[in-house]
Amino acid sequence: MAGRVEGKVAFITGAARGQGRSHAIRLAEEGADIVAVDICHDYDPVHYGLATPDDLALTVKAVEETGRRIVAVEADVRDADALRAAADRGVAELGRLDIVCANAGICTAFPWNEVPGQVWQDIIDTNLTGVWNTMVAGATHLVAGGGGSIICTGSTASLKGLPFLAPYVAAKHGIVGIARSMANELGTKNVRVNVVVPAGVDTPMNERLDDLHRLVDENPELGAIYTNALDIRYLDPGDVSDTVLFLASDEAKYITGLVLTIDGGNTIR
C-alpha cells in the first residue's frame, strides 16, 4: 500500500532534533525522501544548547531505517543563499521538491524591559526571516514542479500575547501574516501554504526554558495564559507531525491559508 506522501520530497529546517526530526521520520514513513537542514551549532544569547552534527546524523539514520533517501545539510536559516543552495542540492540529488516545512526556531524568555538587543534580533532573524528564507528557497522548486505544500511551524504565540516572550511572539505572529500572503500569491501556481499552531511540545527547547518557568512562577497571575483546556501539559512531537503529514498530503489539496491549532484548547482561553 502506497504511503500518503509516496514519491514526494520534503525540505525540512530544524531537522536535527525535536519537531523537525519527528516530521522527517513521519514523512519518510509515508513514502517521502527528505532534505534535512539544521544549523548544528549554538547561538551565544540563547540559554540552551542547539542541535549538533551528531543530532543531525541521528535524523539521517532514522530516515534511512525507513528505507527512504535523505540529504542532510548544515545551514543557517538566517542565510538565504545557504538555504537556496541546500534546496538546490536536495533537488539535484533527489530529483524534485514537493513539501517545505519551515520549522527551525529558537526561544528564550525575558521580562519586556530586560530583552537584550541581540536576543530580539536573533529570534526575529531565525523565527521570522528564517521562515521567509525557507519558503522562498523552497517555493521556487515547488512552482517549477507544478505545485506543492508549504507548512510553517507557528505556536500558540502566533495567536496569543504570551508574557515574557515578546520577540518570540512577534516572530510567530509574523509567520501567520507571511503565510497568508504567500498562500494568495502562490495559489495560482498550485502551491498551498498553511501554519500549524501547537501548544508546548515536549522537545529539548521546552525542556530547557528554565527562565520562563521561573518567571511564570514569580507572576502567578499570568500563569493561566499558558494552560490548556485539555488536561495535557506538552504535546508529543509526533502529534504535530501527524498534522504536518495531513497538510503535506493530497488529503489537504484544497486547504491553504489555514492556521491549524493543535493546542489542547490553549488558544480558546
Residue pair 269/224 in contact (Cβ under 8 Å)? The answer is yes
Mean pLDDT lowest for which of 44-53, 113-122, 260-269?
44-53
**pTM, rounded to two decimals:** 0.96
Residue pair 241/23 in contact (Cβ under 8 Å)? The answer is yes
Q: How far apart are CA 239 and CA 250, in angstroms?
A: 19
43 is catalytic: no
8-27 residues labelled b (16+ CB within 10 A) or e (exposed): bbbbbbbbbbbbbbbbbbbb
Position 44 scores a pLDDT of: 76
pLDDT over 90 (residue 212): no
- pLDDT, tens digit, for every residue of 39-49? 999 987 677 88
The domain ranges of the chain are 9-268
In the CATH scheme, what is the code of domain 9-268? 3.40.50.720
- pLDDT, tens digit, for every residue of 11-37? 999 999 999 999 999 999 999 999 999
Selected catalytic residue, list 168, 226, 234, 254: 168
Q: Which of 209, 212, 214, 266 is nearest to 235 (CA)?
A: 266
